[in-house]
A and B are shown apart, each in its own frame.
Chain A
Amino acid sequence: MIFHSLTFVCFFVITAALYWRLPHRWQNVLLLVASYTFYGWIHPWFLALIFATTFVDYWSAVGIERWPAHRRRFLWFSIVSNLGLLGFFKYFGFFADNVVAAAALFGWELSRPMVDIFLPVGISFYTFQSMSYTIDVYRGHTHARHGFLNMMVFVSFFPHLVAGPIMRATNLLPQVERERRFSASSARDATLLIAWGFFKKLVIADSVGVIANKVFALADPDFYLLWAGVFAFCIQIYADFSAYADIARGTAKWLGFDLVHNFDHPYLATGPTDFWKRWNISLTTWFRDYVFFPLGFALSRRVHEGKRFGLRADLRIYAAATMLTFLLSGLWHGASWNYVVWGGYHGLLLVIARVSASIWRPRRRVRRYLRPFQWAGMFALTNVGWLIFREPELSMIWRDLWLSPSQSTQLQHHAGAYLFFLAFLYSIPLWIQSLWVRFVPSDLTAAVDRDEPDVRFGRVVGQGALAGLMFAAILVLRSYTTLDFIYFQF
C-alpha cells in the first residue's frame, strides 16, 4: 500500500477511528493487524520475512539476557540472520553478476544462476531497526522484552515501515508499551504535517522527477541538460524522501507516536559534516552508532601512534572508519556500484573536511563571511553526489563529469536553462520553508515542522489556511505523472 492512494486514506481513517476507541492492549493488536495488512498488501509472502526477522531478534534478545555466557553467540545469530536475509533478497543478483564478471576477467566462464529475486520493499529499513534492538540489548542500553506482540508492533509499525525513519528500540518500544491518549492539538499538527508531505510529494517531487527522468533517459545529454537534470533530481529526492518522512511522522502522531525527525533542511548545510547531520538523520546515526564507533574503536587498538602519510593517528582512524562506514552506507542504498561510489565520495568529502579543519580553522568573524561560499560549495558538491547516485552506469558518470559547456549547442543551452528554471520554480516552497525556519524560527511556516501543544486560535487559523492552500495546490498543480517514492527501492 502506498501513502498517496485512496486505499491508504481509507485504510488510515478506519484504523485511526477504531484505534482511539480501544484499550491499550487492543490498540497494539489493531496496530499489528493494520501494519501486517499494510505490508502484505502487495505480496502476502512479505509477511513471512518480517515475521521471521521479528522472531529471530525477539528470541536472540531473550537469549542474550537469559544465558549471558552465550550472549555473543545470540548477537551474531541475530546479525547473521538479518544481514543474510538482506543479502539474499537485495544483493544476490548483484554479487552473482560481479562474480561472473570477475571470473570472466580470468578467462573462466561461469553461468549466472537464473534466479529472479523480488526485493521486498522496506526490508533494508526494518532489518536495521530490528537488528539494532538486539545490539542494544547486548550492549545493555535496553532490556529484552517478553511481550512478543509489542515486539511485532515495534518492527512492523506501518507509518514508517517501508522508508523510515529507522527508529531505535530505546525510543519506539517504550512508546508501544505505554498507554497513549488522544491529543487533538497533536492531531492538528499531524494533519498539517501530512498535508505538507503530500504537497511535497505530489506537487514538487513528482513534477521535478519528470524532468530528471527525461534528462537521465537521454543517451548523450550535454552539459546544461545534464546539470539541469541533476538539479531536478536533487530537489526530487529531498522533496520525495522528506515527504515520506513527514507523512510517516504525521500518521504516527495521529496514533499517539512520535517518530524522530529525519531531515533538517539539508540543502542549507555549509559542509559535509553539517550535511550528514541534516540528511536521513536516522540512518546516519544508525551507521554512526553501530558501524562507525565500533570500527573506530577496533581500529584504535591496531593503529600505531605517530604520524603516517602526514596524518596523526586519530585522523587516520577517523579516515579509515569514515570511508568504510560510508562505503557500506552507499551499498545499503542499493545493489549497484554507483551507490558504493556515492558513499565513497561522501566519505572522502568528510575526511577532507576533517583534515582541512585540523590544518586551518578560520576565526569566527571570517567564518561568518565564508558561510555563503561554504553553503554554495556544499550545494554544488551535493549535486555532484546526486549525479553519482542517479546514474547507474559508472562509465557515464565519468563522461558526465568531464562535460564542458563549450560543447553544447544553443538549443541545448536554452533547453538546459529552461529545465533548470522550471525545476527551481517548483522547488520555491522548499526554499521558502527552509529559509523561514532558518531565519524566522517561531512563525507560521515553521509550524509545519514544530509541535506546539497550546491552542492559539490565531495560529490555528493560519495553520488551516496553510493546509487549505496546500490542498488547493495539490488539486491544481499536482504532476500528471505519479512516481513511486524513491526510497521504496532501497
Chain B
Amino acid sequence: MTQDPGSIQQIVTVEAAGASSLDREAAASRRTALVRPVASLLLLAVIAAVLPLGLVVVNAFTVAGKQPESYLPSVFPPGPREPFDAGAVERLGRGQPAYIVIGNSMAGTRVDPRYLTNLIGKPVAGIYQPASASAYWYLAYKNWVVASGIRPRAVIFYFRDWTLTDPMFRLNRQHLDAVALEREPELDRIVAQHAQGAFFRVHAWLRNAYQYDRVRTWLLPLLEQAPIALAASRPKARRELLGRMNNEIFTLEGLREMAAADIGEADRERLDFDKNLPRSVLPELLRLAKENSTRLAFIRVQRRPEGNRPPTQSPELQEYIRKLKQFLEANGAYFHDEWGDPELPLSIYQDGDHIRRDKQRHTTRLFVRRNRGLFQ
C-alpha cells in the first residue's frame, strides 16, 4: 500500500501545529505560573520600601520635624544638643596658662598639669577628654583657647600614630557638643570630604528619603530611659541614675586591665599621608596658630611596647610619621616622637597604651627633659 506523500505532509503539519500549540500553552501556563510569584515578590519589595516612609509622617506631627540643624550637617542629623561649654573659655582667660596640653587619655595618663607647672615654673592647663580625637582637639583649640584671647607660649597635642589626619576617628557628638559652636562650617567642610563614597551617598539618600535620623534623635533616648522607671522607685534616684552610673560605676578606674589597645593597626588608606592631609584638621589648626602667634607642638606617644622592644612599626607607618614630621616642622610646629624611648618600658604601662597612674610624674618629667626646647 502506498500513501499519498501529500497526506503524510498534512499529518506532519497537523501534528507539528498541535505540538506547537501545546508548547505555546505550556509556555503560557509557565508564564502564568511565574507571574503570581514574581508579582508577590515585587509587592513585598514595594511594601517594604514604602512602609518606612511613615517616618516622614511621624516627623511632620512630632517635635522631630522641628529639630535644629546640627553644627556638622554632613554627618550629624538635626537634633537636640548639649550646650557649648562657655565656662571653659572663661576659666582659660582667668588662668592665663603659658602652656596648654590637649588630648585624650594618652595625654591624661602621661602629663600631670599641676606637676608640670611646678617643674617649669609657668602655669599649665590640660584639656583632656577621654576617647576624643582630632576633631575635638581642633574645636577645643579654636573655640576655647583662641576664643579666650590668651596667647600661650605653646599648645601641645598628644596623639597616636595616624589619628591627627583622620577627623572621622571618634567623631563623637557626646564630646563635641561641649566644644562646638552653633555652626562649624570649616570642620563640616573637612568631614564632608570623608563622607563622599558610595556608602555615604547611599546613607545620605536613605536619610533624606526616610528622615529616620530625626525620629532616632528622640526615640532612642526615650527607649533608653524607659527602663529607669522600673529600675528605681524614688524620683531622685531615677533622675540621677544614668549620670551616677557613668560617673561612679563605668569609670576608667573601674575597668579591668586589658593589654590590647583600644585602637588597632592602621590600614594603608589611613597611612596615606599625602591623601589625608588636606582632608584633616591639621592645616586649619596650623593656620589658626599662625594667626594667633601661638606655637603648636605635637607629641606622638609611644604605644605599648612588645616585651623589651618598642612596638613594631610597618614601613607605611614609618613613612607616614616621616612625612608628618616634615610637614609640621616646615610649618613652624614642634614635633617629638616618643617611639623607642628607653625610659618608656613595658613595666610603666597599665592597659593598652595608657601609662600607670603612679608613673605619671615620671612621664611628666621625661616630657620636660626630652622637650627642653619647648620650654625655653
Give the B-binding residues of A (Cβ under 8 A): 6, 10, 183-185, 187-188, 191-192, 195, 214, 217-220, 225, 410-412, 414-415, 417-418, 420-422, 424-425, 455, 457, 460-461, 463-465, 467-469, 471-472, 475-477
Q: Which of B221-248 contact A (CB under 8 A)?
A: 223-224, 226-228, 230-232, 237, 241, 244-245, 248
B36, CB-defined interface residue at 8 Å: yes
Which A residues lie within 8 Å of B48 (CB)? 191, 195, 464, 467-468, 471
Most buried by A among B230, B231, B241, B248: B231
CB-based contact B51/A471 at 8 Å: yes
- How far does the alpha carbon of A218 sit from the alpha carbon of B248 in the complex, in Å? 12
- How far does the alpha carbon of A10 sit from the alpha carbon of B201 in the complex, in Å? 14
Which B residues lie within 8 Å of A464 (CB)? 43-48, 51
B330, CB-defined interface residue at 8 Å: no
CB-based contact A184/B47 at 8 Å: no
- How far does the alpha carbon of A457 sit from the alpha carbon of B244 in the complex, in Å? 53
Query: Which residue on B lies nearest to A424, using beta carbons?
Result: B227
Which B residues lie within 8 Å of A218 (CB)? 249-250, 254-256
Instruction: Give 12 pairs: A residue, B residue, CB < 8 Å, sorted on A.
Output: A6-B202, A184-B40, A225-B249, A411-B244, A411-B245, A414-B237, A415-B241, A418-B230, A422-B224, A455-B37, A468-B47, A471-B48
Query: Which residue on B lies nearest to A417, using beta carbons?
Result: B231
CB-based contact A414/B241 at 8 Å: yes
A12 to chain B, nearest CB (A): 15
Q: Which of B32-87 contact A (CB under 8 A)?
A: 34, 36-38, 40-41, 43-52, 54-55
- How far does the alpha carbon of A422 sit from the alpha carbon of B225 in the complex, in Å? 9
Which B residues lie within 8 Å of A192 (CB)? 44
Which B residues lie within 8 Å of A476 (CB)? 55, 212, 215-216, 219-220
CB-based contact B47/A188 at 8 Å: no
Query: Which residue on B lies nearest to A473, using beta carbons?
Result: B52
- How far does the alpha carbon of A476 sit from the alpha carbon of B216 in the complex, in Å? 5
- How far does the alpha carbon of A185 sit from the alpha carbon of B256 in the complex, in Å? 51
- How far does the alpha carbon of A465 sit from the alpha carbon of B258 in the complex, in Å? 45
CB-based contact B232/A414 at 8 Å: yes
B14, CB-defined interface residue at 8 Å: no
B145 to chain A, nearest CB (A): 29
Which A residues lie within 8 Å of B219 (CB)? 476-477
B197 to chain A, nearest CB (A): 9
Which B residues lie within 8 Å of A418 (CB)? 227-228, 230-232, 241, 245
Query: Which residue on B lies nearest to A222, using beta carbons?
Result: B249
B257 to chain A, nearest CB (A): 7
CB-based contact B248/A411 at 8 Å: yes
A107 to chain B, nearest CB (A): 23
Which A residues lie within 8 Å of B216 (CB)? 475-477
Q: Say which size band chain B's interface belongs to.
A: 35 or more
Query: Which residue on B lies nearest to A480, using beta carbons?
Result: B220
- How far does the alpha carbon of A191 sit from the alpha carbon of B199 in the complex, in Å? 21
- How far does the alpha carbon of A469 sit from the alpha carbon of B53 in the complex, in Å? 10
Query: Which residue on A lies nearest to B216, using beta carbons?
Result: A476
**Given known contacts A455-B36, A472-B54, what 17 new A-B pairs fall within 8 Å (CB)?**
A184-B34, A191-B45, A217-B256, A218-B250, A412-B249, A418-B228, A418-B230, A421-B231, A425-B223, A455-B37, A460-B43, A464-B44, A464-B47, A464-B51, A465-B47, A467-B44, A476-B219
CB-based contact B41/A191 at 8 Å: yes
Query: Which residue on B lies nearest to A7, using beta carbons?
Result: B199
Query: Which residue on A lies nearest to B44, using beta carbons?
Result: A464
- How far does the alpha carbon of A469 sit from the alpha carbon of B47 in the complex, in Å? 10
B198, CB-defined interface residue at 8 Å: yes
B206, CB-defined interface residue at 8 Å: yes
Which A residues lie within 8 Å of B215 (CB)? 476
The 8 Å CB contact of A475, one of B50, B52, B230, B237, is B52
- How far does the alpha carbon of A404 sit from the alpha carbon of B46 in the complex, in Å? 54
B335, CB-defined interface residue at 8 Å: no
Which A residues lie within 8 Å of B249 (CB)? 218, 225, 411-412, 415
- How far does the alpha carbon of A281 sit from the alpha carbon of B131 in the complex, in Å? 41
Q: B88-107 CB contact bits vs A (8 Å, 1 = yes)?
A: 00000000000000000000
- How far does the alpha carbon of A273 sit from the alpha carbon of B194 in the complex, in Å? 52
- How far does the alpha carbon of A436 sit from the alpha carbon of B254 in the complex, in Å? 41
- How far does the alpha carbon of A467 sit from the alpha carbon of B226 in the complex, in Å? 26
Q: Which 7 A-B pairs have the closest CB atoms?
A: A468-B51, A464-B47, A184-B37, A421-B227, A418-B231, A472-B52, A467-B48
A359 to chain B, nearest CB (A): 41
- How far does the alpha carbon of A217 sit from the alpha carbon of B249 in the complex, in Å? 11
B158, CB-defined interface residue at 8 Å: no
Q: Taking A218-B249, A468-B47, A476-B219 as contacts, is the C-beta distance between A455 and B231 under 8 angstroms? A: no
Which A residues lie within 8 Å of B199 (CB)? 6
Which A residues lie within 8 Å of B220 (CB)? 476-477
B210, CB-defined interface residue at 8 Å: yes
